[in-house]
Structures are given as structure tokens and as C-alpha cells.
Chains A and B, each alone.
Chain A
Amino acid sequence: MTTAAQTAAEAATPVRATSRRAWSPSQIVLTLLGAAVSMVFLSPLLWAVFTSLKAETEAVEVPPHWLPEDWTGQAWSAMFETGNITNWFVNSLVVSVCVTAVVLLVAALAGYGFARTQFRGKGFLMGMVMAGLMVSPAVLGVPLFTTVQQMGMVDTYWGMILPQCAPAAMVYILYKFFQGIPRELEEAAFIDGAGRWRVFFTIVVPLSRPSLAAVGIFTFIASWNNFLWPYMVTNNPDLMTMPNGIATVMNSYGIQWAQLMAGGLMAGLPLIIVFVFFQRQIVAGVAHTGLAGQ
């Protein structure tokens, strides 16, 4: 059985054998081209890093220059002193972790339920989930807000977390995956007298670890970077997540580009660092959820 996750994971493994080969002219050209394009892609990020290491006055000098003349961590320390950033970081972490945990549990159960079990109205419910793929806070933000408002959850963590916990796409991905697992293992376990829940948690879940990891990683990235919904539902700066706080709460001293860039890097770096270390899993996750997720 081949899943997209595995294909992508294999693809992600560096092929050591080939890297010993001699440089052919076409490889030299391609590698140079790759390096040039990479520089174009990275230069905005480098610009952010350099800006964040300049003094505010140097950052807005005309004409701009790449490297700081005076390297200073002033923007970074000022950012931590005001304290908002650390609050938002914690909030982002709390929201993303909760969302990921709930989504994993709920989507795995539902995916399994749809793939394996029988119950009345299953076909209809499955159809509803498919229709739900088209609903997002961008499309139905206003009614979603009034719903959450009625529940008294505006400006609460739950108001941010729970509406992110019903992703039809993830259920669909896991549903497809569970359909691909051979039934025999479960059947054997049933015959041995194991209950349904036990079969699910001791046989099915361990079997689907790569898929669950993919869904978990993708959910975490999406939740960490989510702006629109937290923007709608949180107004209290104490409760904002990174992307929301950085965009909506101003520095009282006006736009301080060096600090803004430092804050942006603080919001973006964790995922980039995680990516460097867990590249294989993340590539597999994105490819898998993206490919199957449609």
C-alpha cells in the first residue's frame, strides 16, 4: 500500500548515491539557476533579518542599504520589554496545540466512523461533510461571528479554538486513509473479543501514525498562521495570537519597522526552524493533506 505521505517521504530523502556523481555541465547550470532563484526567494527574509538588527532611525534611512552599519539588538530587546509579543506567542501556542489535539481526536474518530462503521443516515451525513468543505470563515464569517457571539464566546480562547475544530477536509483525508487499511486485522481482534474502541485505539491508530502526523502537522501550521478567524473573534489584545496581534495592535510610538520585522520573525521563525528539523514529515504532511485533501 502506497500513500502519498510515503511517496513524498521517500522523495524527501536525499539520494546519497547520486550526489557522488561528477558535475555534469547541465547540473552546473541547473544548480546555479537554483541558487539564483533561492536567493530571490530568501532575500525578503534576509531583508527582514537585517532590518530587525538596525536602529529604528537607520532602518528608515534613504536610500536603504542591506547590511546594518551598527548592528544592534535594540529592536529585539524593545520588543520583548513591551511584553505583548511573549503574550501572543503563548496564546498562539495554546490555541494551536488545543486545535491540533481536538482535530486529531475528533477527525480520526469521525474518519474511522465513516470509513468502517454502519449507522443510520451515514450517506446523508457524509454528503453534509462534503458540502462543509466549501464553508470557511472567509465565506461565512459574519454569521459565524454572530453564532459565537450568541454562545458568549467572543474574546475567549474557546471562541478562537472551537470553530477551528471542525475541518471537514481532515475528516475526509482520514476517511480515505482508513478505507485503505485492510479489514482483517480488525476482524481478527473482534473475534478475539476486543471492543470497538479498543480496536480503534490499539490497532487502527498505531497503523495510521504517518497519516495522523500529516494531519496534525498541517492543522498546527494552519492554526498557527490563521489570521482571519482570530481577527474576527478577538478584540482583547491580551488574548490575541501572533498573526493577529502583530497586524492589529500598533506600537504606541508609531510604526517601528525594525521592531515590526523582529516581531514578524518571531512569529515565522518557529515554524521555519521546525521545518528545518522535521522537513521530511512536513513535506509529507503538506503533500499528503494537499493531495488527498481536495
Chain B
Amino acid sequence: MGRPDLSRRRLLAAAGGLTVAGSFGFAALGTGADALASGADTRVRYWNLFSGGDGYNMIAMLDAFRADNPGIDVKDSTLQWGSPFYTKLAMAAAGNRAPDLGVMHMGRVTGFSPGRLLDPWDVRLLAKYGVREADFNPALWKRGVIDGKLYALPLDIHVQLCFYRKDVLKKAGLLGADGRMVPVTSTDEWFDMLKEARGATKKGLQTLGMWHNDQNFQWWFFVAFYTQLGGTWFDAANTEVTFDTDKATQVLQFLRRHLTEGYTNPAFGGGAGAEQVLNGAPFAWEGNWSVPVFDAAKLDYGATPLPPVFGEQATHAESHAFVLPHQSGRGGAADEAAHRLAAYVVTHARQWAAGGHIPAYTPTLSTPAYRKLNPQSEYVTAMDHQATEPKVWFAGSTGILAQRVGPIVVSSTVGSAEPDVAAGRMKGMLTELLASKNPMDGRTAAQGGAVA
């Protein structure tokens, strides 16, 4: 009895000891199993925030890159989109453990403390891999340049669109001779259109999906329509708030009206808007990245920039860009591979365009293959009517501005706050933010806390 038990115990003890020793050894190596297993000469760690159709296309491009460059092992990681992504990127850079390559929204670059959390691109190295300034929209390229150095290499422009189902619109007589949605130039025309479309829609479906309870989308739509009204944010010196509460109220009332008149069903916020369109709802306001969703469903659909209901054309636009998160020892093989990878993706952006994005690399834009893409050709002009957030350190996709003001827009759209009250709150928030100091350099926006 005693002996087998003893040896079993000894065996268990030995196994336990080995586990503990092995764990400490593994922890001491410190790189994780994947890096250990990687046999390639150079390993590029690349973080992005692309999932869904974008993720699919990005992976396809990375696979193509891998096939062309067998000596480089690309370890790509997709993190939670939005502020969690920026939090992780900033913390990794601050902790000096940043990945070799990252993706960011252009609007976030100024607030991301170039020089401290970001390293500049080596433009000569980029040129070696085929990326030249001349091949980009000058305004776009310049947004990535701070203090004379390139910090963000633009990949695309992405815009907010009005997706529509051609079959439903045709039934409602809302399709023009060119097979596209008839143009709208005022809020009345827009609501007339919704009314007629509703008549042609199956029971149980809403008319328009507009992410009514999502603080990011509502903020983007607000920016678009507020820009259509010619609204401004701050004066040129960033010392005064020029936000127009009357115009803002008009926009907020417009957004709210979709719910009060029943075109948008409160139960179908968020991604349910696109699902509704798949099931037969006529309209959804979505980012252009939803193109693959509708393509995959083989839908007969179109997409235009957000309707110019306040007269002027303008739709919200942002850009994805490649960045080099700060590493104290930047340089070397991994860094060079990061340049090569970014250059490759930027110049091979046709696949990316299939995801609905407008490529930043202009040679791609002019290829016949791109011009033939639908509905991309329908909204490519949106890049000439961009509505963007003000260029201050606290702005940019899911930045502090969006985080603070977005919920106010939502509160009005869903009816928790009156539009005029919400507009007043927005102005108050803008005033507060303008006076606040950028924690990274202690300067306010007026003091030039990094202007793009």
C-alpha cells in the first residue's frame, strides 16, 4: 500500500516541480510561444483595428506580402476598434514595448504626441520601396507631416455613406434614369423620400438604420450635416469657440426626427441597421467599410455620400494611416521590414478598395479596374467634400472630442435631451476642451498643442 502511493506522490511532485520550473523558464525567455516558434529572420509585429470585411482584405494583402517576402514573418494582431486600440498603442509605446508597425486614424496623429509616442518615417527608405509623396493627394499627405517629418503614411480615405436597396427604391419610384437614388437637396425632400420608401418596405422592417444609439456614428453624422450647414468649431487661432448652437440644434432636430416619425426603429440600433437592409429595409447610413457586407449578400444596392439635406455636399471623412509607434531602439531589420510592409500595402491597395475605401495612393485610383468598381465609383467624389473634425489635439476618430460630445448627440437623437439643450451642452463641452491642456505637452490648442 505505502510504496506505490509513495512513488505516485513522488511522480506528482516531480511533475509539479517540472511544471513550476518550466513556467519560470518560459517566463524568463519572455517572448511568448509564437515568437519562439517563428523561424524567419525578421519578425514584424503589426497592430491594426480592422475586422469584418476590412480584416478579410487586410489578411489577403498580408498573405500576398508574405508570399513575396518569405524572409519576413508578419505577426498581425487585430485589437478592439476605437479607443481601446489607441489606449493599447499608447501604453505599449509609453512602456517601450511598441509593435514595429501600427495603423491609426489620421485625425488622431496630432493628439498622439508625434516624437514621443510615434517615430517618424524614413522617407528615403519608403521611396526605395516605391512610395513617393507625388503619388498622394497633397492635402492628405500633409496631414501626416508634423514639424517637417512624416509621421503618418496615408492608406485610404473613408467616408460615411447612405446605402440603399435598388429593388425597394425602384418599387417606390425613387430610382432615377441612371439607376441611382434620385438626388435630395432638402430635409423635406429627404423625409418625403423616406415616406415613400416606407410604403414599399416589407412589414416589420425599419426604413433607415442610422446607428442612433452609437456615439461614434451619431457624432460623424453630426459633423457631416453641421458642415453642410457651414457650421464652424473654433476660430483660426483656436482661442474662441465659434460653434453655432442654432445650426447644431437644426442638425440635432433633423437626426431626432427619424425616430419620432418612426423611420428608425429604436430596437434596431448598431449593426442591426445593416442586417435590416439585408432583410429588405431600404436605407442604412454606414461607413464605406460596409460595402463588402452588402457585396457578399449579392444585393442590388447603391451608396451615395450622405444626402446634402442642408444644401451643401459634405460627408464625414477620415483616413487610415500607417504609423511607427515609438521604440527607443528604432531601426534595424524589423524597422526596415515595417517600411517595406507599409509601402507594399499602400501601393497594392486595390484589394483595400474592394473594402469600400478610397485608396490614398493615386495611381490605384486611376486604374480602370478601380473605376469599374461599384458602388465605389458612385461615391468617389466624396473625397472632394470632406467634413472633418476640427484640427486640434483632442480631436480625431474616437478621440476625446468624440468621446465627450458623441454621447450628447446620442442623448438628443434618442430623445433623452431636447435638441437645443443638447446643442448648448455641446458648446459648453467644446469650450471646456478648448481651454484644456494637452497632457503630453501641457499646452492648450491655442498655444499650438500640435496643429496639423
Contacts and interface: CB of A to CB of B under 8 A. Distances in A.
Nearest to A158: B27
A271 interface: no
A267 interface: no
Interface stretch (B71-79, B178-186, B231-239, B436-444): B71-79
A238 B26 contact: no
Nearest to B59: A252
Q: Main secondary structure on chain B at its contact with chain A?
A: helix
A237 interface: yes
7 closest A-B pairs (Cβ-Cβ)?
A154-B95, A252-B55, A238-B32, A155-B97, A254-B52, A157-B27, A235-B92
B44 to A, nearest CB: 13
A101 B31 contact: no
Contacts of B20: 97-98, 101
B33 A90 contact: yes
Contact of B52 (A93, A145, A236, A253): A253
Contacts of B94: 149, 154
Contact of B19 (A97, A152, A154, A237): A97
Interface string A233-247: 001111100000001
B434 to A, nearest CB: 26
Size bin of chain A's contact surface = 35 or more
B99 interface: yes
Contacts of A156: 30, 97
Contacts of A98: 20, 23-24, 27
A94 B32 CA distance: 10
Interface string A138-154: 00000001000100101
Contacts of A152: 95-96
Interface stretch (B80-88, B108-116, B127-135): B80-88
A226 interface: no
Nearest to A256: B51
B10 to A, nearest CB: 15
A90 B392 CA distance: 43
Given A161-B27, A235-B89, A87 B33 contact: yes
B78 A238 contact: no
Contacts of A91: 32-33
A248 B47 CA distance: 12
Contacts of A155: 92, 95, 97
Contacts of A249: 77-80
Contacts of B89: 235
Contacts of A247: 80
B51 A254 contact: yes
A252 B51 contact: yes
Size bin of chain B's contact surface = 35 or more
B97 A248 contact: no
Contacts of A237: 77, 79
B45 interface: yes
Contacts of A145: 91
Contacts of A238: 31-35, 45, 75
A250 interface: yes
Given A86-B33, A238-B35, A251-B78, A94 B96 contact: no
Interface in A76-98: 83, 86-87, 90-91, 93-95, 97-98
Nearest to B43: A238
A146 to B, nearest CB: 9
Contacts of B45: 236, 238
Contact of A154 (B24, B79, B92): B92
Nearest to A160: B27
17 contacts: A87-B34, A93-B23, A94-B26, A98-B24, A154-B92, A157-B26, A157-B28, A157-B30, A235-B95, A235-B97, A238-B31, A238-B35, A239-B32, A248-B88, A249-B79, A250-B55, A253-B55
B50 interface: yes
B58 interface: yes
Interface of B: 19-20, 23-24, 26-28, 30-35, 45, 50-53, 55-56, 58-59, 75-81, 84, 88-89, 91-92, 94-97, 99
Nearest to A86: B33
Contacts of A235: 88-89, 91-92, 95, 97
B306 to A, nearest CB: 24
B23 A94 contact: yes
Given A83-B34, A154-B96, 6 more contacts: A87-B32, A101-B23, A154-B97, A155-B97, A235-B88, A238-B35
Pick the most buried of A86, A237, A239: most chain B CB atoms within 10 A of its CB.
A237
Contact of A248 (B26, B28, B53, B80): B80
Contacts of A251: 51, 55, 78
A11 B432 CA distance: 61
B24 A236 contact: no
A248 B51 contact: no
Contacts of A95: 27
B291 to A, nearest CB: 14
Contacts of B77: 237, 249
A251 B56 CA distance: 10
B272 to A, nearest CB: 10
A250 B33 contact: no
A149 B95 contact: yes
Pick the most buried of B19, B56, B91, B92: most chain A CB atoms within 10 A of its CB.
B91
A104 B94 CA distance: 33
B107 to A, nearest CB: 21
Contacts of B56: 252-253
Contacts of A239: 32
A250 B27 contact: no
Contacts of A154: 91-92, 94-97
A255 B28 CA distance: 34
Nearest to B56: A253
Nearest to B17: A101
Nearest to A95: B27
A90 B76 CA distance: 19
Contacts of B55: 250-254
Pick the most buried of B23, B51, B81, B96: most chain A CB atoms within 10 A of its CB.
B23
Nearest to B27: A157
A155 B77 CA distance: 15
